[in-house]
Amino acid sequence: MSDATAAADLLFRPVTELAARVRSGEITARELVQASLDRIDEVNPKVNAFVDVFGEEALAEADGIGPDDPRPFAGVPIAIKNNRAVAGKRLTFAAEFAGDLTPPHDHNVARRLRDAGFVIVGTSTLPEWGILPVTDTTRFGTTNNPWDLSRTPGGSSGGSGAAVAAGMVPIAHGNDGGGSTRIPAACCGLVGLKPQRGRISLAPDVGYNYLVQDGVLSRTVAETAELLDLLAGYELGDAAWAAPPNEAFAVQAQRTPGRARIALTTLSPVPDAEVDPVCAKAARDAAELLASLGHEIVEVDPPWQEATLIDTFTAVFGPMVASQCTFIEMINGRPATADDMEPLSWALFEVARAITAPQADFSTTMCQAFGRQLITWMADYDFVITPALAEAPLQHGVVDPRSSDPLADFARSSRFTPFLAGMNITGSPAISLPLYHRDDLDLPVGVQIIGQPEGEGELLALSAQLEAALPWAERRAQV
């Protein structure tokens, strides 16, 4: 194995292993960060996963990390999605209108990652304002799936998913307001957990968000559990938060789960979404595997096919996106115009601005009612298994943020990811696992598992049991 190949191989190893190698003196933090930067130089021109790369600063930071550094992940490189503040670096939301806004502070997730010793080597791409499940922007171009460069890595955390799948970083930050961590996990062959609502603070910028939770894209369940322990927890001023676990998530993830009652469904919550037989088969195969491990499987049709649900979700999601645009309007000192945004962003912005305050509040109330109904139904089961996506990762252009009928493309995107947004409404934890690989295409196939409220520990334990039975971490995209 050449030195370059050995260095690149490092970035596919678990973050705990990499940190242990730095602590032992087997490698230096500089060597590890340099391997990441070299891999970015080699692969990113093909993948386009980064908004900015902080090469010299990352190396300087690595030079200050020695084997005696007590931080648990000292020297390990990571990427932050470019919708969270990194102090002194531009925060663009992949939108021209945001300009080169440079916040002076770290977002909570960036601060906690730094405090744990991670070295932020760059910020990753996303669709404009984080709207779509594909990562294709006017400002930064198209991000490609490392498994097939003609296809999307998903969105909105598409750059983070592509960066990890291509071995540019061993782990990356993402967030999920309608599937945006689970989608790139499914597209790129990674683990993507949406934690319980309120689990990870949005400080200092926001006190609470009904739909969005931060997290990571990783190769293994264990890494996701360890990072959840790191990122979870109340910050001063939070308006709402999840109760802390009785035991570390990493410890819970290592426990063999007891016999569970698990619902299986391939019924799309979006009535006009056709589910690819390969995606449906993956969910069924996962259920069969769990049955062989001693769990009870019950095939069901959940009560989630409500004709107005997408419109109601949009009436909540749209104003959430519009608030970002309004913030930039305040910074820029002028109102946005259609020339400032991609057609889809502008169309959604106009939809949001046309919603009255009572309508927005009522839509939130309707979403909460739907969430309560769904959680009540789910109480009969320990977990629910679904396909992660209804289709293979889309070819570029199938969903186009610059089309002449942008809201039709927005509706089209929901048929790609129909199983995911419901869990942002309920707030329950849900995870996408890369259990399978397509025979017809060289692409991963993800399966979603939904847990009970505040049940990340049990969900991670079941996920780890599946990973042990059907390991996936050694699969690599040949970029």
Catalytic center residues: 81, 156, 180
Q: What is the Cα–Cα distance from 362 to 367, expressed in whole angstroms? A: 9
CA-CA distance, 258 to 250, in Å (whole number)?
17
> In terms of Cα–Cα distance, which of 122, 153, 95 is closest to 41?
122
CB 415 within 8 A of CB 421: no
Residue listed under structure tokens 């062959």:
189
Maximum distance among all Cα pairs of the chain, rounded to whole angstroms = 64
DSSP 421-445: HHHHHH---EEEEEEEE-SSSS-EE
Q: Read off the amino acid at residue 187.
A: C
The amino acid sitting at 134 is: V
Beta-bridge partners for 437: 444
Rounded (10°) CA dihedral 14, 18, 23, 27: 160
| Cβ partners under 8 Å of residue 305, min gap 6 | 267, 268, 269, 270, 271
* Helix or strand run (H / E) with residue 165: helix 158-165
